Structure 1
Amino acid sequence: MSNVTDDDDDLKDVIKNLVQIETENPPGNERLCSEYIIDWFEERNINAELIERPYPDRPQVGVRIGNGSPTIVLNGHIDVVPAGDREQWDHDPYSATVEDGKLYGRGSVDMKTGVAVGMLATASLADEIRSGNVDGSIVFQAAIGEETAEPGTKTLLEEGYDGDYGVVLEPTEMRTATSEKGLAWYEITVTGDPSHASRPDQGTNAIQSAQPVLDALNDYDTEVRTREDDLVGQAYSTVTMFEAGTKENVVPEQATITIDRRFLPSEDIENIDNEIDNMLLEIAAVNDIGVSWERIRTYESAAIEENSPLAEVFRRHSAKTDDAPTNSWGINASTDVRNLVNDANIEAITWGPGDISQAHTYNEHIELSDAMIAFDVLSGAAREILNGAIDD
């Protein structure tokens, strides 16, 4: 799109610096990264606030520039999933090695490149806002805890770092997502009665009691898969974990089944709870077994109008690139866009550089040229919105 510029070099340096700061969650080591971001903005005479909510030992960052209308919020999370077995990486996951135009490292795609692009776009637009060349205001959020559904972004919104429009800078290959699936994890516990394995009939084997539950969950997944959304596809209910037993010669007294329930914007979490509850009550009654359940984590679904003015602006600017599709689209993963849309009533999209299939993988990497294009697209789209391109 353009020759190498100072912005390109700055962006590459910021991505490298962010990736080199290990912020694995769990346990949640975001402090050093937040402090780096604070210092980076202050070096550019931009006030940035270290927010010590919801956790004092894991602060996050909020930036607001200008007081005009409209306000656009650029959101990114700084926590990453653990790197896993480092022997499986071709490069140290926190070395931010650059090779053949790719930057390798945990978080390079998910989503420190998005954070870096947001930082540079915020700083670039700050100069235009302060000079009066741009009318609106910009908010930048560097949130903690997204990988484990913690209230990082939600807290930043409560602290006043909100606006009229929002962009969650997750890796979408610069496709504009106006909807996303929700995610709920359920733990189902089947109880039995322990005994020595030499006298198995003395006890009640929780693994055997769990079999009709597994069968029912398979039937439930088959039914759920018939539910579809034009943008985000099918719903799913997948058994992902099974835990039972304490020792080889003990009949297990408990079995725990975990399911991953991906749900559509049209589905309601309370209705899903009722589906799970009614299914398990019936199985327990028919098979005379003890069953209980708990929803242990929830990422709500979210959606705005498919042809919202915000989405149209980003589609149009993304169309200036060679590869970014401009058709209507929804994201299968869950992001903090749900907090902007559902909690703060902000018209928000998920949009950013990088291929989401790289997220959470060994040898995770980003094409640096994509990051540089994303900076140009984001800056241009945000500038147009701040100058009143979208009518209220």
Structure 2
Amino acid sequence: MTRKQLTDRALRLLKQLISIESFSSNEDKTADAIQEWFKTFDIPFERIHNNVFAKNKFWDDSKPTLLLNSHHDTVKPNKAYTKDPFHPHIEDGKLFGLGSNDAGGCLVSLLATFSYFYACEELNYNILMVASMEEESAGENSLRGLLPSLPEIDVAIVGEPTLMDLAIAEKGLIVFDATIKGTPSHAAHPNDNNSIYNTIEVLEWFKNYKFDKSSEVLGDVKMTVTQINAGSQHNVVPAQVELVVDVRVNDAYTNSEIATLLKSEAPCKLQERGLKLNSSKIDKNHPLVQSGIALGRKTYGSPTLSDQAALSCQSLKLGPGDSTRSHSADEFIYVHEIEEGIDLYIKILEGFIK
């Protein structure tokens, strides 16, 4: 099958995926559609929950393994949509629809790439293709939950929209719940320990805090207060204010180090929700990265989180589409981005596994 035919089939599959509601944990119908792709190409596959995966034809346990991974779940459409999020259609070269950019375009491009190499003999690497579920919610059955059922992985390409530039690192994530205490009282009476007023100083601390270690690729750690909650009625001073703090961690720190540091220094009680989502990276001199650089692709550090956080091996984030369109209203991907994405994926792998 020619690359043009592969690309046409990939676009048809993407339109089909867009038309199917596939919010995290409810991806069974898109998993069915992905199974049909493998059946069409006579490729044996396995399915665990809504994760669908396959190995290349000439798998050899003595060779290292390259993982190709992207997800087929989506977030829910936001209220600013003006187009039907489940109606895939092309206008001015843009394919509109929920999940088109994040990460349907990447997924179908990787499926096309895997199918292109599936029956190739004498590759330097085994190729494992995984279309995963629950990426958007970091669910228990996502790639992280699937890994114990997969062969050992030596290096990975995680398909997320990067304009086909090489994201050689991505920031980790810790979410903290913060509590600021005060004295509850009737609003009509004096109170010099108002929890809401106490929060002003705490917010200034979070706003102005600077982490010592920066990263050449990922820059500074970024800490942002994203939610605040307090009070139940107009005439009652609440006993406490609750904040949610989003911390994007560079590769100069582990998540455990960040948690220890902030809990010892913050002027309020902090409790992390989890520490599993560490930063990820791949050596710029890795042959996979060098293959992309040789094709004129730029390297950069990504501020957004992906299934890379589940992997312990070196991993590269790479895919068609633009991250700034993800989770936006009237989400779209350019048709030419998918065409170019498949071509570049194939060329990068040709320079790495052959």
- Secondary structure at the residue paired with 2:70? strand
- Secondary structure at the residue paired with 1:39? helix
Residue 31 in structure 1 maps to residue 25 in structure 2: no
Cα distance per residue 1:9-32 (max 9 Å; x no partner):
21211111112222224xx32222
Residue 71 in structure 1 maps to residue 54 in structure 2: no
Residue 138 in structure 1 maps to residue 127 in structure 2: yes
Q: 1:147 and 1:161 mapped to 2: Cα distance?
A: 24
- Secondary structure at the residue paired with 2:301? strand
For residue 294 of structure 1, the aligned residue among 265, 271, 278 is 271
Q: Are the counterparts in 2 of residues 31 and 60 from structure 1 also a CA contact under 8 Å?
A: no
For residue 307 of structure 1, the aligned residue among 285, 304, 308 is 285
Letter in 2 for 1:236: K
Q: 2:274 and 2:332 mapped to 1: Cα distance?
A: 28
Aligned to 1:176: 166
Residue 337 in structure 1 maps to residue 329 in structure 2: no
- Secondary structure at the residue paired with 2:146? helix
Q: Residue 198 of structure 1: CA displacement?
A: 3.2
Q: Are the counterparts in 1 of residues 78 and 328 from structure 2 also a CA contact under 8 Å?
A: no
Q: Are the counterparts in 2 of residues 302 and 337 from structure 1 also a CA contact under 8 Å?
A: yes
Q: Are the counterparts in 1 of residues 52 and 130 from structure 2 also a CA contact under 8 Å?
A: yes
Cα distance per residue 1:342-382 (max 9 Å; x no partner):
2xx3x321111011111111121101111111111212322
Q: 1:110 and 1:235 mapped to 2: Cα distance?
A: 24
Q: 1:179 and 1:374 mapped to 2: Cα distance?
A: 20
Aligned to 1:219: 208
Q: 1:161 and 1:367 mapped to 2: Cα distance?
A: 34
Letter in 2 for 1:104: F
Q: 1:243 and 1:275 mapped to 2: Cα distance?
A: 24
Q: Residue 277 of structure 1: CA displacement?
A: 1.2
Cα distance per residue 1:235-256 (max 9 Å; x no partner):
2111111111111222112211
Aligned to 1:159: 149
Residue 235 in structure 1 maps to residue 232 in structure 2: no
Q: How has the CA–CA distance of structure 1 residues 292 and 257 changed in structure 2, closer, same or farther, with 3 Å as cutoff?
A: same
The size of the alignment, in residue pairs, is 348
Q: Residue 170 of structure 1: CA displacement?
A: 0.6
For residue 52 of structure 2, the aligned residue among 39, 50, 61 is 61
Once the two structures are superposed, the pairs formed by residues 190-201 of structure 1 within 5 Å of their partners are 190-199=180-189, 201=191
Aligned to 1:288: none
Letter in 1 for 2:335: L
Cα distance per residue 1:301-326 (max 9 Å; x no partner):
01221221110112224x3xxxxxx3
For residue 210 of structure 1, the aligned residue among 199, 205, 216 is 199
Aligned to 1:83: 77
Letter in 2 for 1:109: N
Aligned to 1:390: none
- Secondary structure at the residue paired with 1:330? strand
TM-score (norm 1): 0.82
- Secondary structure at the residue paired with 1:6? helix
Q: Are the counterparts in 2 of residues 134 and 383 from structure 1 also a CA contact under 8 Å?
A: no
Aligned to 1:360: 327
Q: 1:327 and 1:112 mapped to 2: Cα distance?
A: 22
Q: 1:133 and 1:102 mapped to 2: Cα distance?
A: 38
Residue 350 in structure 1 maps to residue 347 in structure 2: no
Residue 10 in structure 1 maps to residue 18 in structure 2: no
Q: Residue 92 of structure 1: CA displacement?
A: 0.7
Q: Residue 70 of structure 1: CA displacement?
A: 3.8
Q: 1:4 and 1:311 mapped to 2: Cα distance?
A: 23
Letter in 1 for 2:128: V
Q: 1:74 and 1:369 mapped to 2: Cα distance?
A: 21
Q: Residue 196 of structure 1: CA displacement?
A: 3.1
Q: How has the CA–CA distance of structure 1 residues 162 and 36 changed in structure 2, closer, same or farther, with 3 Å as cutoff?
A: farther
Q: 2:224 and 2:298 mapped to 1: Cα distance?
A: 29
Q: Are the counterparts in 2 of residues 11 and 372 from structure 1 also a CA contact under 8 Å?
A: no
For residue 270 of structure 1, the aligned residue among 246, 253, 256 is 256
Residue 22 in structure 1 maps to residue 11 in structure 2: no
Q: 1:80 and 1:162 mapped to 2: Cα distance?
A: 27
- Secondary structure at the residue paired with 1:228? coil
Q: Residue 204 of structure 1: CA displacement?
A: 4.9
Letter in 2 for 1:20: S
What are the ranges of 5 or more consecutive residues in structure 2 without an aligned counterpart?
none
Aligned to 1:147: 136
Q: Residue 91 of structure 1: CA displacement?
A: 1.6
Q: 2:206 and 2:14 mapped to 1: Cα distance?
A: 43
Residue 42 in structure 1 maps to residue 20 in structure 2: no
What are the ranges of 5 or more consecutive residues in structure 1 without an aligned counterpart?
53-58, 284-290, 320-325, 388-392
Q: 2:231 and 2:23 mapped to 1: Cα distance?
A: 30
Aligned to 1:287: none
Q: How has the CA–CA distance of structure 1 residues 214 and 50 changed in structure 2, closer, same or farther, with 3 Å as cutoff?
A: same
For residue 111 of structure 1, the aligned residue among 91, 103, 107 is 103
Aligned to 1:374: 341
Q: 1:105 and 1:239 mapped to 2: Cα distance?
A: 31
Q: Are the counterparts in 2 of residues 41 and 47 from structure 1 also a CA contact under 8 Å?
A: yes
Q: Which runs of 4+ in 1 moved over 6 A?
A: none
TM-score (norm 2): 0.91
Aligned to 1:56: none
